[in-house]
Structure 1
Amino acid sequence: MKKLIITLIFGVLVSVNSFSQERLTWHTDVNQALEIAIKENKKVMLFFTGSDWCGWCTKLQNEVFKTSDFEKWSNDLVLVELDFPRRTPQDEKIKVQNRQLQSIFKVRGYPSVHFVSPEKTPDGKMNLNSLGKTGYVRGGANKWLEVANGIVKKTI
């Protein structure tokens, strides 16, 4: 009976955590994400990661991005994952897009998180106004969100 109760509790906790993660939308097409951000008047968080090889990236996701605190905090942002996997197959269009953004933002290490405020020019081009960047921050979600708030809340 005791095993059954523990198993049920564990199942409920896993379900709750899975449910909260399903509510976060991580875009991989940056153009689509920028259009959404402009339409909804939101800032954009670009998460440069090596999903299948970068230990610090996994640590950042587990300690911060997979928490309910991050989920609540990120409601006013459009989230974009720019992945650089080594073993996992990836669409060529996404690879090219991610490499271009890596070059534009001069990303040299992972994880790297850049915050931008997109705007369309009268001629239809997209400008990405950089708000700042961060990476892994020791101390869990609260410490990371403190740093991220300092970046996102400043005015352009």
Structure 2
Amino acid sequence: MKQFLIIIFLLVFGSLQAQEWQSSFDKAVGLANKENKPIILVFSGSDWCAPCIRLEKNIWQSEEFKLYASEHYVLYKADFPRKKKNELPLELSETNAALAQKFNPKGHFPLVVVLNKDQSVLGKTGFNVKASPKKYISILNGFIP
């Protein structure tokens, strides 16, 4: 019984965490329009790009960023994993490739693009290892009119 409750807790907690990052770009755009929020579009190589992994750990997973983002941004991660075990479904890979062609044609990783609800670019940034979550939020907010 105890193990069952732990599994239920982990499933519920995991689903709450996963709700911050939208599962599709179309959902992100729809939510941005509905809630009148900017979109944070992240180009990441989750299993090969060291700065991407540090950005994930130091900023995206921080409680400060999660709390702020849930109120102020719509989040979408365009991931480009290289390991076979992390391979994305074809449709998602194609969507991410199309987004890269439009918003990241030079293939920079990580690249964080701030878009308005109409998908116009407000600003772009990468990852500064010295930036705290608070400073990173300030950088992102600096792009928003």
Shorter-chain TM-score bucket reads: 0.7 to 0.9
Q: May I ask how many residue pairs the two structures share in their alignment?
A: 128
Question: Considering only aligned residues, what root-mean-square deviation do their CA atoms show, in Å?
Answer: 1.9
- Give the TM-score normalised by the residue count of structure 2: 0.80
Structure with bigger RCO (C-alpha 8 Å, 6+ apart): 2
How far the C-alpha of 1:143 sits from its partner, in A, is 2.6
Mapped pair 1:112 → 2:104: no
Matched, 1:134 2:125: yes
User: Given the superposition, is the C-alpha separation of residues 107 and 98 from structure 1 closer, same or farther in structure 2, using an over 3 Å criterion?
Assistant: farther
CA-CA distance at 1:109 after TM superposition = 1.3
Higher Cα Rg: structure 1 or 2? Answer: 1
Question: Do the aligned partners of 1:50 and 1:85 also contact (CA within 8 Å) in 2?
Answer: yes
**How much identity, in percent, do the aligned residues show?**
28
Structure 2 unaligned spans of 5+: 1-9
Structure 1, unpaired ranges of 5+: 1-14, 120-127
CA distance in 2, matches of 1:61, 1:113: 12
State the 1:101 CA deviation: 0.6
Name the residue aligned to 1:32: 27
Report the equivalent of 2:88.
90
Amino acid at match of 2:121: S
Q: Which runs of 4+ in 1 moved over 6 A?
A: none
Structure 2 distance, partners of 1:65, 1:85, is 17
Greater fraction strand: 1
Output the CA distance in 2 between the equivalents of 1:83 and 1:107: 15
TM-score by length of 1: 0.75
1:137 touches 1:143 (CA, 8 Å); kept in 2?
no
- Please tell me whether residue 79 in structure 1 is matched to residue 68 in structure 2: no
Contact 1:48 1:83 in 2 (8 A): yes
What is the CA–CA distance in structure 2 between the aligned matches of 1:110 and 1:28, rounded to whole Å?
20
Q: Which SS does the other structure have where 1:63 is aligned?
A: helix
SS of match in other structure, 1:28: coil
